[in-house]
Amino acid sequence: MSRRPPVSDLRQRPAHAVAAALLAIAAAAGLSGCAMYNSRPLPTAPALADNPQRLKADLARLRVGPLKTIRIDPSDGLTPTEVAVLAVLNNSDLEAKRRATRVNEAQVFAAGLLPDPQIAASVDNPIAGPDNQVAYSLAASVDLAGLLQRTYTRRAARFTAREADLNVLWAEWGVAQQARQFAETALAAEARVVFLRQVLALATDRSDRSERALQHRDVNLQTAAADLAVKLDAQAQLATALHDAQKARRDLNALLNLRAEVMLPLVTAPVVAAYDDAAMRQALADLPQRRPDLLALKAGYAAQDVNVRKAVLAQFPLNNIGAAYAKDTAGVVTDSLQAAFALPIFNGGRGEVRTQKATREQLHAEYQARLDQTDAEVRNAQAELIAARSQAAVLRQDVPRLEALVKPAVAAYDRGDIDSQTYLTLSQTALSRRADLDDKELAARLAEIALETALFLPPADSRAAQ
């Protein structure tokens, strides 16, 4: 009678071989889809341009529709509209926002991937008992819920990516218009600086002569004090204008990613006719189909609507299915099908459905609120533009008359025909009204920019260049 080999001898080598093979297969499958790690060190210094020639001017990178018709010609200086394009191409915050959209693109890619199948393997070595065969089992399963929801997950990710991209477009548009406003403010302040320097030079010369005359007792103290007051008033207004110009320049340079001390060669834009009422009414009517922030809200709402559908589908109780192949220690070989169910007794995903529906209602209300806000923005900008133009028109008639009275008033004052208070009031009123005119003309230009911003229309002066 032959002797049966020990159980340990029967199981040792086959068990080790099977286990090693399974581990090798699992390791190879896992490593085949792995990505590699690459470091990305942070910058150690600012990346601000120190010269306007270093600014990026690749117009092919422009994505904002109303800016695509603008051409940059730095040979004769940069208009506020040209500066707006440079701001979009060079602003570092916008570049960071563009890079952030790559996260959404990666999420779209991830949403389109199929769920990985799961494989389970086991080896059982008999230690004691009548059955001495090595048992093993292999099982494979797949996430059925993930497969069923994949279409909705990918669709929601695409809508979310579109929302992010449109928000970047709206941010680009906002930076462009902000750059126009800063450039217009700088130009207006610098023009006022030139005017006030001329006024101050005349006032200083007169005040100095009055002071010398006072020392020789050729004029009285009241006359010298009046001339000094005109000089000091001009100095104060000049200091304010210089501060406004420098601040606008610094703000503009920050938008362009330029060093604060760099001087852009700014020039005024050509005077062109603004949009008429019919064009603005048409632009307001089709604004929901054009303005990026409204389109972004639409995309976000569409993504949330898909999430509602996905939450409803997630109530389907079948979670995953699979198959198994096994052999026991008695040598019996079996195969089987497996399925896992979630019994919708207590939860059933009803809370998630309600949450997603409530979020959709919130986005619906936000879109309506933005529509209302947009209409109010447009009408407010129209009212501001009309008021500024009307006030500037009145001042254009009054200021030359006042300034025409100042020169004969000086001679009349010297002759003693008018007193110092009359002379001082007339001089200061002329300066004040000139400042008011400058402010109203700037306010009209800024209101026009605000209106074009709200209506998502190309700058009016860009049409003249076409």
Q: Please report whether residue 3 resides in a domain.
A: no
pLDDT of amino acid 323? 92
pLDDT of amino acid 392? 92
Rounded Cα–Cα distance for residues 423 and 420 (Å): 5
Sign of CA dihedral 348, 351, 355, 361: positive
CATH code, domain carrying 387: 1.20.1600.10
> Tens digit of pLDDT per residue, the chain (466 long)?
444 444 444 444 454 555 556 556 655 655 565 667 777 787 776 767 766 778 887 888 888 889 888 888 888 889 999 999 999 999 999 999 999 999 999 999 999 998 888 999 999 888 888 888 889 999 999 988 888 889 999 999 999 999 999 999 999 999 999 999 999 999 999 999 999 998 888 888 888 888 888 888 877 788 788 888 888 988 999 999 999 999 999 999 999 998 988 899 999 988 777 788 888 899 999 999 999 999 999 999 999 999 999 999 888 887 889 999 999 888 899 999 988 888 888 888 889 899 999 999 999 999 999 999 999 999 999 999 999 999 999 999 988 888 888 888 878 877 777 777 777 788 888 888 888 999 999 999 999 999 999 999 999 877 555 5
Rounded Cα–Cα distance for residues 393 and 441 (Å): 9
Q: Please report whether residue 434 resides in a domain.
A: yes
Burial 248-282 (b: 16+ CB within 10 A, else e): bbebbbbbbbbeeebebebeebeeeeebeeeebee
pTM (two decimals)? 0.82
Q: Please report whether residue 202 resides in a domain.
A: yes
Q: Please report whether residue 456 resides in a domain.
A: yes
DSSP state of 348: T
Phi and psi at residue 119, to the nearest 5°: -120, 130
**Token output for 424:** 């001082």
Nearest alpha-carbon partner for 73 in 54, 60, 91, 86:
86
Rounded Cα–Cα distance for residues 104 and 156 (Å): 11
DSSP state of 383: H
Q: Please report whether residue 375 resides in a domain.
A: yes
Full strand arrangement of the beta sheet holding 118-124: 118-124, 135-143, 318-327, 333-341
Q: Please report whether residue 291 resides in a domain.
A: yes
DSSP state of 217: T
pLDDT of amino acid 7? 45
Q: Please report whether residue 265 resides in a domain.
A: yes
Cβ atoms of residues 56 and 92 within 8 Å: no
Phi and psi at residue 264, to the nearest 5°: -75, 140
Domain count, the chain: 1
pLDDT of amino acid 376? 94
pLDDT of amino acid 2? 47
Q: Please report whether residue 372 resides in a domain.
A: yes
pLDDT of amino acid 443? 94
Phi and psi at residue 140, to the nearest 5°: -130, 140
**Token output for 340:** 């896992």
Helices (H) and strands (E) in the chain, counts: 10, 4
Q: What is the CA radius of gyration of the chain?
A: 38
Instruction: Calculate the alpha carbon distances from 38 to 41, 42, 96, 188, 283 in Å.
Output: 10, 13, 20, 50, 48
Chain centre to alpha carbon of residue 373: 19
Question: With 0-12 CB in 10 A as exposed, 13-18 as middle and 19+ as buried, what is 398?
Answer: middle
| Residues with Cβ within 8 Å of residue 341, at least 6 apart in sequence | 317, 318, 319
Cβ atoms of residues 258 and 48 within 8 Å: yes
Residue range(s) defining the domain that contains residue 60: 54-115+151-317+349-464
Residue matched to tokens 């120190």: 50
Residue matched to tokens 């029967």: 10
Residue type, 50: D
